[in-house]
Amino acid sequence: MSETQQKWATAYPELGTGPIPVEPCVSPAFFDAEMAKVFKKAWLKVARVEEIPNAGDFKVKKLSFAHTSVILIRGKDGAIRGFHNTCSHRGNKVVVETGDETFGSSKAAVVTCRFHGWVYDAKGDLVSVPEEEKFHACFHRGENGLAPVRTEVWAGFVFVNLDAEGKESLTDFLGGIGRHLGAYPYEKMPRAYAYNTVLNCNWKVAHDAFAEAYHVATIHAGSFPNVFTSGLQNVQLFGPHRTTAICLSMNAEAKPVAKLANAITGASLVTNRGASMLPPTVNPDRRPDFSFELSVLFPNLLLHVSEGIWFTHQFWPLAHNKTRWEGRYYLPAPKTNSEVWAQEFSQVLQRNAWLEDTATMEDTQDALESGAKTVMHLQDDEVLIRHGYHALEQFMTAAE
């Protein structure tokens, strides 16, 4: 096999070329270790700043793998802080959840436990206790605020880290990938289409299905016929994070309705993209066939940016064979009815493609759990998947 066919193995020999064990996707014991050493130690994206724009606005994000949920609340000082959703009195949830994500607002920038009315401000301090005089001398209000969760913001993304003893900042954790993607104008595309579902598969099985272009010609033959190339371009590795360019085949003719929608807004990936929004780090050689940048922020966030579009996939582990997938597709606010229609068409096309992706995942899990195969063989353009398992191993080993 030529060096051209093995260019990523040549560029990143430290990743090796051997098969990948199946065990990390099927073992309950591995899953438990992964939650303790990775998900409870790494920085995890849980919100966008636009979701909690005003003082007193809050979002509660459920983190089932850690048996907790996190209150993210914006204070009167503008800062967003995170706290465990656990009352200091008898452990009730302070904010009653209505699903995986719960939103609310308080003009006073406080949250109140419905059980006994304990009130906490946006800095987590306990500011009011009904019948406080009846508590014993060991109780001190100042010592019984909400349990804080380390919370930082990068490029408008809100991250938390459940490791209360951890010292690494979000900036240091992201390193080069933060610099690579940090200058993209995410805030200019506020219109979001969001999807989520629970899939009966390991989070890595779901993650890996989106982290390569090898499948496009087969799985997406209906949605994106002959649109994208399977080969990756400009692959870069940044510690546990990774990124690549996904490119167009340049000889595909869009279907009539898709062609019309693209002419109105360019809201679909199935068209040539510009570069006015791209920082110089993304598509640095300004390839004419560039479609979008596919980036993985370890451990569970895929972030894609393009001209006038950005979207994410996130995979939340629920069990060794169960995952919550969240997909979000962001576009500029439409100015005309024609733009509304074109965006709606484009996001439906994208949704259908995501449904094609998710349709493979549960079958993959079932087949892997049969034990018929103990390893997976990856080709050269599946380098992001290979790097993912390499980064996971390094992270788990470092935690020992």
Q: In CATH, what number is assigned to the domain containing residue 246?
A: 3.90.380.10
Which of 137, 165, 193 lies at the terminal end of a domain, its last residue? 165
Measured CA to CA in angstroms, residue 243 lies from 151, 202, 311 at distances of 24, 22, 14
pLDDT at 261: 85
A 10 A CB-CB count for 79 gives: 13
Could you list the beta-strand ranges (E) of the chain.
20-21, 44-48, 57-63, 68-74, 80-84, 101-105, 110-112, 119-121, 126-128, 148-154, 157-161, 191-199, 233-238, 241-247, 290-297, 301-306, 309-319, 322-331, 375-376
Both tokens of residue 142? 């100042």
pLDDT band at 4 (very low <50, low <70, confident <90, very high): low
* Alpha-carbon dihedral sign for residues 216, 332, 245, 21: negative
Q: Quick one: which H or E segment has residue 171?
A: helix 170-174
Q: Any idea of the CA torsion for 20, 25, 26, 31, to the nearest 10 degrees?
A: 120
CATH code (residue 139): 2.102.10.10
Which residues, 6+ apart, have CB-to-CB distance to 223 below 8 Å? 349, 352, 353, 356
Please indicate, yes or no, if residue 245 is contained in any of the structural domains.
yes
Q: Evaluate whether residue 31 is within a structural domain.
A: no
Q: pLDDT by residue (tens digit) across 210-261?
A: 999 888 888 888 777 778 888 999 999 999 999 999 998 877 677 788 888 8
Number of structural domains, the chain?
Answer: 2
Domain boundary among the residues 165, 188, 220 is at 165
User: Is residue 373's pLDDT more than 90?
Assistant: yes
What is the pLDDT confidence band of residue 363, given thresholds at 50, 70 and 90?
very high
Q: How far is CA 171 from CA 159, 236, 338, in A?
A: 11, 18, 41
∠ CA 66-72-78, rounded to 5°: 155
Are 284 and 381 within one domain? yes
| Per-residue confidence (pLDDT) for residue 399, from 0 to 100 | 57
Report d(CA 215, CA 226) in Å as an integer.
12
Rounded-to-integer distance, Cα 62 and Cα 67, Å: 8
273 and 301 inside one domain: yes
Angle (CA) 341-347-350 rounded to 5° is 145
pLDDT-derived band at 400 (thresholds 50, 70, 90) equals low
Q: Which of 116, 140, 165 delimits the end of a domain?
A: 165
- Are 160 and 40 within 8 A, CB to CB? no
Q: Which of 254, 280, 277, 284 is nearest to 346 (CA)?
A: 254
Looking at residue 200, what is its pLDDT? 98
Question: What local confidence, expressed as pLDDT, does residue 258 receive?
Answer: 80
Same domain for 356 and 219, yes or no, is yes
Based on the fold, state whether residues 268 and 351 are members of the same structural domain: yes
Do 70 and 161 reside in the same domain of the chain?
A: yes
In a domain, 217, yes or no: yes
- The answer on 148 and 217 residing in a single domain is no
Is the model's pLDDT at 3 over the cut of 60? no
Q: Within this chain, do residues 161 and 70 fall inside the same structural domain, yes or no? A: yes
pLDDT at 265 over 90: no
Looking at the fold, whether 147 and 222 belong to one and the same domain comes out as: no
Residues 346, 308 share a domain: yes
Parallel, antiparallel or unpaired: strands 57-63 and 68-74: antiparallel
Considering the domain boundaries, does residue 218 fall inside one?
A: yes
Tell me how far apart the alpha carbons of residues 100 and 79 are, in angstroms, rounded to a whole number.
23
Least confident range of 91-105, 344-358, 373-387: 344-358
Q: Establish if 2 belongs to a structural domain.
A: no
389 is in which domain, residue-wise? 7-24+177-398
- How many angstroms separate the Cα of 260 from the Cα of each of 227, 252, 256, 346? 16, 15, 6, 11
Residues 114 and 235 in one domain: no
Residue 365 inside a domain? The answer is yes
* Predicted confidence (pLDDT) per residue in 318-346, tens digit: 999 999 999 999 999 999 999 999 999 98
Asked if residue 1 is part of any domain, the answer here is no
Average pLDDT over residues 22-48: 97
Q: What is the pLDDT of residue 264?
A: 87
Mean pLDDT of 195-208: 97
Check whether residue 185 and residue 60 sit in a common domain.
Answer: no
Residue 254 or residue 121, greater confidence: 121
Residue 35 pLDDT > 70, yes or no? yes
Model confidence over 48-85: pLDDT tens digits?
A: 999 999 999 999 999 999 999 999 999 999 999 999 99
Instruction: Answer whether residue 272 shows pLDDT above 90.
Output: no
244 and 379 inside one domain? yes
Contacts of 63 (CB under 8 A, 6+ apart): 44, 46, 69, 70, 162, 316
Distance CA 360, CA 363 (A): 6
pLDDT, greater one: 34 or 264 = 34
Position 208 pLDDT exceeds 60: yes
Q: Does residue 386 fall inside a structural domain?
A: yes
Residue 26, number of CB atoms within 10 A of its CB: 19
Joined together, the tokens standing for residue 339 give 């733009």
Residue 398 or residue 54, greater confidence: 54
Residue (of 286, 298, 182) closest to 233 by Cα position: 286
State which amino acid sits at residue 48: R
Instruction: State pTM to two decimals.
Output: 0.95
What average pLDDT is seen over the chain?
A: 93
